[in-house]
Chain A
Amino acid sequence: MRSQLNDADACAVDQAWRIAVRRTGAQVTAVTMGPAGAAAALRKSLVLGADEGVHILDDALAGCDALGTARVLAAAVRRLGFDLVLCGAAATGSATAVVPAMVAEILGVPVLCFADGLKLTGDGVEIRRDDGAGVQTWAATLPAVVSVTPRCGTPRYPRFAAVAQARHKLVRTWPLSRLGIRRSEVGLAAAVTRVRAVTPVEDRGRVVIDCDAPTAAARLADFLAQRELL
């Protein structure tokens, strides 16, 4: 199973490249934690502009929960050294949406989540984020972690030269031992959350209302308000 680089992650790599391309000596490292198939997503990051990749690969990591994942990624990032960590922001409510904030907390640096726009300022980084009725601007000093939405810029279509060069870029594979994390601290056995039961849903939560206009409108507005869209 070859993994794909999702839209948000692609935007994150692209933003990183845009920052690095304007600064001499800036380096972009793409980090992923996952089974062997995750290397494909890493290669795609290299095509989109990352200079090198790190693949954390260890079978002890199977079944890792969000906190475990965050610990591993934080350890890797700390080992690499960083000024800025960029992540793709997963949709709210999904299991991995919490990882960027956790990584930041473990590293003890500020986090700026769900950035729709990003720019570096004199002393740090500033992001733009939509909150339902307006646009918030948040700022933090570096080092920091920023998670980026698919609305944050459009990654350019890579040239063949980028594809060819990416094949020669270095991808390091790190087992857990390289990060100083013990097997007992991660993986399914060490997970803080456990799944007890799984039931398929008949009607997949796709609600279709068929009633009079004012009622429908009220339900629509409720729906939007709940999701901070109104």
Chain B
Amino acid sequence: MIVRMVLGLLMTAVAFALAGRRVMTLYRLGRSGQPVEPDRLRDVPKRAWAVVTEVLGQSKLLKWSVPGIAHFAVFWGFIILGATIVEGYGALFVRDFGLPLIGDHAWLGFLEDLFIVAVLSGLVVFAILRLRQDPQREGRRSRFFGSHLGAAWLVLFMIFNVMWTLLLYRSAQINTGNFPFPRGAFASEAVALALAPAGRTANDVLEHVGILGSLGAVLAFLVILVYSKHLHIALAPFNVAFSRRPRGLGALLPVHSGGKPVDFEDPGEDDKIGRGVIEDFTWKGMLDFATCTECGRCQSQCPAWHTEKPLNPKLLIMSLRDHALAKAPYLLAGSDEERAKLPKDVLAEAERPLVGAVEAGGVIDPDVLWSCVTCGACVEQCPVDIEHVDHIVDMRRYQVLIESSFPSEAGAMLRNLERAGDPWGRGAKARLEWMAGLPFEVPVLNGEPIPGDVEYLLWVGCAGALDDRAKKTTRAVAELLHTAGVSFMVLGSQERCTGDPARRIGQELLFQELGKQNVETLNAAGARRIVVTCAHCFNAIRNEYPQLGGVYEVVHHTQLLSKLVAEGKLVPTHPVEETVTYHDPCYLGRHNRVFSPPREILGSVPGLRFNEMPRNSETSFCCGAGGARMWMEESIGTRINETRTDEALATGAEVVTAACPYCIVMLTDGVATRKQQGKAGEDVRVTDVSQMLLQSVRGPGDGDGSA
């Protein structure tokens, strides 16, 4: 007994020393990042609930049924089997140690054994998944492409070791009579039966070996854990706790430096704009990188990765993590002399630019950074709430504002926004053109506040006013509102771009300028309820303008039209005998959780046959225009919009509908290309959902029904 106690405690001491040192380094590395945005430390009840649902409830993991259930089993196994670790340490001192009060209850023994079996089953499932998704065979298609496979198998192996040594120990304990549970532990009892013939002495030995083996496996696992991605089991609850609530989607945060928002009018001398080096990330960012489990769920949804571009959200996070770890000695060194004494490869690592070409030693290649469409599919999938999009935009902010280094063709969009207030440079006066020829008058605000009896301000947006296709949507919505008797006004030439493309490309200063201008205009007009036809305007005004002092009740046109149909103010009477499908715009659906209203509208049109695309709602596949990519050339890999178009065409739809002008432009281009290649029927068209409704409400005739 003494021997095993000494050995046990010795092992523990060594393991804790090794692991502790590593934890200390990781902690200090995390702290070398910037302080976090204040909101992350607020709203504790919401954060606590998030931990309960996402960690204890494994909610995001269960979205993928098979791996989710397996992981649920293994996760809860670790929690429940924590009891066995306590029992094990207790048994170092008292051979038949049982937990106080419940130590001999059958249900506890049963529970422990149940989870041993569950974990072992989970491991089998994981092994099968990894074999079926072997990147050697599947290449980029496998979500494990680029993950550290050896380390992953080692982890599975170690968990297996922990389980079988535990089972061995328990069954030997049963045979030596030291087992605390008289009944309930079915699995241990079964193995005990198999071991019983070996005799008392053998089982004694097995018991001692078993306990040391069991504790040893756990301790070895502990040390391996802190050096591998499996550290997520300790970090994930914290990462979830400190993540943006309700999720890292929708609004982007303003630029913060040192935990405080940067005032672009009067920036501090040492203010860090964006992320230029790894230590510019906040400690939450560092925590994000460390928590990554390399599961690849993000990668499996990324539209850039699916179209042969180099951007892979998982590899992005892993690169940042590996770079941080490699640079850690440099970052944690106390003085210049200490730094000078560091090994060459660490110093070389410290010299690497954060964003730069491979030849220049860059950690993140510019093509990776600029391929992102900010669709948020990665954030949606990540089981540990890593905020990939935020990190990408923060790196973009540094590149744009500090280095002035970004895809040059986007410069035209930025210059046009500065000069004319819209991305095409047409100017304020052109914003009234869409109204020409409407059968009714659209009241335009001019400097006066909105009269009290006007229900909505219709925010037309740049595309809605200036793009030939989007103008049709605006006209359709205006006509529907007019038909429904909803009174509304427009700002006309007082509108400016909401600033969404500027913010997404990283030009935060320009976003703030445009946003503040718009907020001033909206507040002066006394706007309370705003209806928008563009998903990006929707996101910007609803979620981001509060940061600039503009708080309004913002609805998307599909939400309002759906409500009007439900209230009977719009009656779609004329049947439209066509097959349609609906593409969820990322900024309406995933970022803002508006999924049903467009479907309700389509459902209300008689005669319409609706076919859902495989990737819809939360898992909708981006059209390719987000992240300011509408204003950049797509020259790598295949086209995102064409990929999505193929998916839409495969539903057999004659009409592809969407609810955002960006999506409509991209899908229209995609359909045109496919038509030209003979891969799409001549009568396939792309329209906004509102145009389908208008067609049904108004009836056949010369319509703006087609794109």
Direct contact of A and B (CB under 8 A): yes
Residues B171-220 near A (CB distance < 8 A): none
Most chain B CB within 10 A, of A156, A157, A160, A164, is at A160
Residues A152-183 near B (CB distance < 8 A): 156-161, 163-164
Given the interface pairs A4-B419, A163-B509, the reply to whether A157 lies near B414 with Cβ below 8 Å is: yes
| Number of cross-chain contacts by CB at 8 Å | 20
CA distance A158 to B401 in the complex (A): 8
Residues A179-198 near B (CB distance < 8 A): none
Cβ contact within 8 Å between A159 and B419: no
CA distance A184 to B267 in the complex (A): 45
B404 at the interface (CB under 8 A from A): yes
B-chain residues with CB within 8 Å of residue A163 when the two chains form the complex: 509
A194 CB to closest chain B CB (Å) equals 29
Given the interface pairs A4-B419, A163-B509, A164-B267, the reply to whether A157 lies near B411 with Cβ below 8 Å is: yes
| Contact count band on A | under 10
B360 at the interface (CB under 8 A from A): no
Cβ contact within 8 Å between B414 and A161: no
CA distance A64 to B267 in the complex (A): 40
Given the interface pairs A4-B419, A164-B267, the reply to whether A156 lies near B509 with Cβ below 8 Å is: no
CA distance A4 to B419 in the complex (A): 7
B273 at the interface (CB under 8 A from A): yes
A-chain residues with CB within 8 Å of residue B411 when the two chains form the complex: 157
Cβ contact within 8 Å between B509 and A159: no
CA distance A155 to B260 in the complex (A): 33
B345 at the interface (CB under 8 A from A): no
A-chain residues with CB within 8 Å of residue B404 when the two chains form the complex: 156-159
The closest CB in chain B to the CB of A156 belongs to: B404
Given the interface pairs A4-B419, A164-B267, the reply to whether A159 lies near B403 with Cβ below 8 Å is: yes
Q: Please tell me the number of chain B residues within 8 Å of chain A, measured between CB atoms.
A: 13
B402 at the interface (CB under 8 A from A): yes
A-chain residues with CB within 8 Å of residue B267 when the two chains form the complex: 164
CA distance A161 to B401 in the complex (A): 8
CA distance A158 to B403 in the complex (A): 9
Most chain B CB within 10 A, of A4, A161, A163, A164, is at A164
The closest CB in chain A to the CB of B398 belongs to: A160
The closest CB in chain B to the CB of A162 belongs to: B404
B-chain residues with CB within 8 Å of residue A158 when the two chains form the complex: 404
Cβ contact within 8 Å between B402 and A160: yes
B-chain residues with CB within 8 Å of residue A4 when the two chains form the complex: 419
Residues A3-62 near B (CB distance < 8 A): 4
Cβ contact within 8 Å between B414 and A160: no
Residues B363-416 near A (CB distance < 8 A): 401-404, 406, 411, 414-415
CA distance A18 to B273 in the complex (A): 27
Cβ contact within 8 Å between A161 and B402: yes
B516 CB to closest chain A CB (Å) equals 14
The closest CB in chain A to the CB of B274 belongs to: A160
CA distance A116 to B509 in the complex (A): 32
The closest CB in chain A to the CB of B269 belongs to: A164
CA distance A157 to B403 in the complex (A): 10
Cβ contact within 8 Å between A159 and B401: yes
A-chain residues with CB within 8 Å of residue B403 when the two chains form the complex: 159
The closest CB in chain A to the CB of B414 belongs to: A157
Cβ contact within 8 Å between A160 and B419: no
The closest CB in chain B to the CB of A164 belongs to: B267
CA distance A162 to B347 in the complex (A): 31
CA distance A227 to B273 in the complex (A): 49
CA distance A126 to B79 in the complex (A): 80
Cβ contact within 8 Å between B414 and A159: no
B-chain residues with CB within 8 Å of residue A161 when the two chains form the complex: 402
B274 CB to closest chain A CB (Å) equals 10
Extra 6 A-B pairs, beta carbons < 8 Å, given A157-B406, A159-B401, A160-B401: A157-B404, A157-B411, A157-B415, A159-B404, A163-B509, A164-B267
Q: List 20 A-B contacts (CB under 8 A).
A: A4-B419, A156-B404, A157-B404, A157-B406, A157-B411, A157-B414, A157-B415, A158-B404, A159-B401, A159-B402, A159-B403, A159-B404, A160-B264, A160-B273, A160-B401, A160-B402, A160-B509, A161-B402, A163-B509, A164-B267
Q: Report, nearest first, the 4 A-B pairs whose CB atoms are least far apart.
A: A160-B401, A159-B404, A157-B411, A157-B404
